[in-house]
């Protein structure tokens, strides 16, 4: 392979934060889980991963260099395939999920991998270190793996700008940082058990204003426990601003939505639409350039201090982060004797966020998944929250009371 043609891109400021998150609680990874039935030949799957990863070199990266001068560089090494047995894992919670034998180390790799979990149903779990890919980029790589399984040519990706470089090509205006004053949909921490946990539920049918309804639910729950402001973050894929982009890297910028006590789901949805119409996703946070030259070890110390302060005060940067990956075609994620029946997304695990929800549509249903720090989720609080959310959504759509 010609060294001069190796794929590489400069690390971004945000990606340096994701490196720290991985050091605190590894692996800090996007996880797309595809459930289904059929037979998958291990070698055929390995070959498909190799073909798709050759077309998407962002799946084969390691970090070279230091500080803001560091770059992600293609190793040319195919992400590994691991196999495991489902055992007693139900697929509806993090409890019992087979772990990975590696922590996706950014310096030596791999930073992406695939896990085949055998059972009924079969589950394929696709991991990407969040400092190398976002959720949409991971989905692109995964879709190309299934293309290869079906004998089709992968679409591939060759975009080599990070999100800061891309956004700066449109807009260099910055927005002020969000104050850490937001209340959250649970009471204060119980104990100090480290780590995160998640729960998954499936709802069937069509749900209008889904993010608006979830945001209103989060706000109502938060105000049961404290008085204060509620702000939800909505990750936005900025690829929407350039239709020809083929990219696996981090091209997601958050917009912030304040949810006042009197807001309805329709008003929240209108607020989201208004921010998108104003291209607020093309505004990065106002941070001094000096932060690019602070060693990760010092940044980690500061982040851990802030994280502990959030637990102590009950006030956070966000009340919740709500990520809607939209509808994903089951046909696109089938192939090689495997037929997908559902797809869900497990967000990167961090105690910095008190409540991280992902929603993914496939077939006639929507998968909802909530991830929370264990000390906020324990004593069945996360189970109560997600079950109450499902009841709220089903009643809201059935009666129109909350529209």
Q: What is the pLDDT of residues 266-302, one digit of tens each?
A: 999 999 999 999 999 998 887 777 888 999 999 999 9
The CATH number for 149's domain is 3.30.559.10
The verdict on residue 159 lying in a domain is: yes
The verdict on residue 340 lying in a domain is: no
Is the same domain home to 106 and 129? yes
Which pLDDT does position 205 carry in this prediction? 86
Which pLDDT does position 33 carry in this prediction? 98
Nearest to 250 by CA among 70, 5, 16: 16
* Regions in the chain scoring below 50 on pLDDT: 1-3, 398-403
The verdict on residue 152 lying in a domain is: yes
Which pLDDT does position 4 carry in this prediction? 53
The verdict on residue 124 lying in a domain is: yes
Q: Where does a domain end: 140, 165, 190?
A: 165
Is the same domain home to 156 and 119? yes
Is the same domain home to 281 and 143? no
Q: How many residues does the chain have?
A: 403
Is the same domain home to 249 and 386? yes
Is the same domain home to 195 and 84? no
Is the same domain home to 242 and 186? yes
Nearest to 196 by CA among 28, 23, 19: 28
The verdict on residue 171 lying in a domain is: no
Sign of CA dihedral 39, 136, 367, 369: positive
What are the Cα distances from residue 64, in Å, to 80, 171, 257?
Answer: 21, 29, 37
Is the same domain home to 302 and 192? yes
Is the same domain home to 148 and 107? yes
Structural domain boundaries enclosing 368:
177-325+348-399
Which pLDDT does position 384 carry in this prediction? 98
Distance, CA of 329 to CA of 341 (rounded, Å): 10
Which pLDDT does position 285 carry in this prediction? 81
The CATH number for 217's domain is 3.30.559.30
- Can you say how many angstroms the Cα of residue 380 is from the centroid of all Cα atoms in its chain? 23
Distance, CA of 79 to CA of 56 (rounded, Å): 11
Is the same domain home to 210 and 238? yes
Which pLDDT does position 368 carry in this prediction? 98
Q: What is the pLDDT of residues 7-54, one digit of tens each?
A: 999 999 999 999 999 999 999 999 999 999 998 999 999 999 999 999
The verdict on residue 284 lying in a domain is: yes
Q: Where does a domain end: 134, 165, 196?
A: 165
List all residues 6 or more positions away from 149 whose beta carbon is below 8 Å from its beta carbon: 44, 45, 48, 335, 336, 338
State pTM to two decimals: 0.95
Which pLDDT does position 401 carry in this prediction? 41
Q: Where does a domain end: 114, 131, 165?
A: 165
Distance, CA of 63 to CA of 20 (rounded, Å): 13
Work out how many domains the chain is built from and give that number. Answer: 2
The verdict on residue 336 lying in a domain is: no
Is the same domain home to 195 and 291? yes
Which pLDDT does position 290 carry in this prediction? 82
Is the same domain home to 106 and 237? no
Is the same domain home to 160 and 182? no
The verdict on residue 157 lying in a domain is: yes
Task: Please state the three-class secondary structure of the chain as a single string.
Answer: CCHHHCCEEECCHHHHHHHHHHHHCCCCEEEEEEEEEECCCHHHHHHHHHHHHHHCHHHCEEEECCHHHCEEEECCCCCCEEEEECCCCCCCECCCCCCCCCCCCCCCCCCEEEEEEECCCEEEEEEEECCCCCHHHHHHHHHHHHHHHCCCCCCCCCCCCCHHHHHHCCCCCEECCCCCCECCCCCCCCCCCCCEEEEEEEEECCCCCHHHHHHHHHHHHHCCCCCCECEEEEEEEHHHHCCCCCCCCCCEEEEEEECCCCCCHHHHHHHHHHHHHCCHHHCEECCCHHHHHCCHHHHHHHHHHHHHHHHHHCCECCCEEEEEEEECCCHHHCECCEEEEEEEEECCCCCCCCCEEEEEEECCEEEEEEEEEHHHHCCCHHHHHHHHHHHHHHHHHHHCCCC
């Amino acid at each position: 392979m010609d060294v001069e043609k190796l794929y590489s891109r400069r690390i971004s400021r945000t990606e340096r934060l994701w490196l720290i998150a991985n050091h605190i609680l590894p692996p800090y990874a996007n996880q797309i889980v595809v459930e289904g039935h059929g037979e998958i030949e291990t070698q055929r799957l390995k070959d498909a991963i190799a073909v798709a990863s050759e077309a998407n070199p962002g799946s084969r990266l390691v970090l070279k260099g230091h500080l803001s001068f560091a770059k992600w560089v293609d190793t040319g090494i195919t992400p590994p395939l691991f196999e495991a047995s489902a055992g007693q894992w139900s697929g509806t919670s993090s409890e019992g999920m087979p772990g990975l034998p590696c922590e996706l180390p950014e310096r030596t790799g791999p930073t992406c991998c695939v896990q085949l979990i055998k059972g009924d149903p079969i589950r394929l779990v696709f991991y990407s270190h969040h400092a190398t890919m976002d959720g949409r980029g991971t989905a692109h790589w995964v879709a190309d793996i299934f293309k290869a399984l079906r004998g089709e040519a992968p679409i591939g990706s060759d975009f080599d700008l990070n999100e800061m470089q891309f956004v700066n090509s449109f807009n260099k205006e910055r927005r002020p940082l969000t104050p850490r004053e937001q209340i959250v949909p649970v009471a204060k921490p119980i104990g100090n058990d480290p780590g995160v946990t998640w729960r998954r539920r499936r709802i069937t049918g069509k749900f209008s204003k889904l993010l608006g309804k979830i945001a209103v639910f989060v706000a109502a729950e938060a105000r049961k426990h404290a008085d204060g402001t509620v702000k939800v973050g909505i990750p936005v894929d900025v690829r929407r601003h350039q239709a020809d982009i083929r990219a696996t890297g981090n091209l997601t910028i958050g917009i912030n939505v304040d949810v006042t006590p009197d807001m309805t789901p329709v008003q929240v949805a209108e607020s989201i639409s208004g921010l998108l119409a104003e291209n607020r996703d093309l505004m990065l946070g106002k941070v001094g350039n000096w932060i690019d030259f602070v060693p990760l070890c010092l940044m980690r110390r500061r982040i851990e201090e802030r994280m502990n302060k959030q637990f102590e005060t009950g006030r956070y940067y966000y009340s919740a982060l709500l990520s809607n990956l939209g509808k994903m075609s089951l046909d696109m994620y089938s192939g090689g004797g495997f037929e997908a029946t559902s797809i869900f997304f497990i967000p990167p695990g961090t105690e910095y966020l008190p409540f991280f929800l992902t929603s993914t549509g496939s077939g006639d249903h929507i998968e909802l998944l909530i991830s929370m720090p264990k000390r906020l989720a324990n004593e069945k609080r996360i189970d109560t929250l997600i079950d109450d959310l499902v009841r709220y959504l089903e009643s809201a759509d059935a009666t129109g009371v909350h529209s």
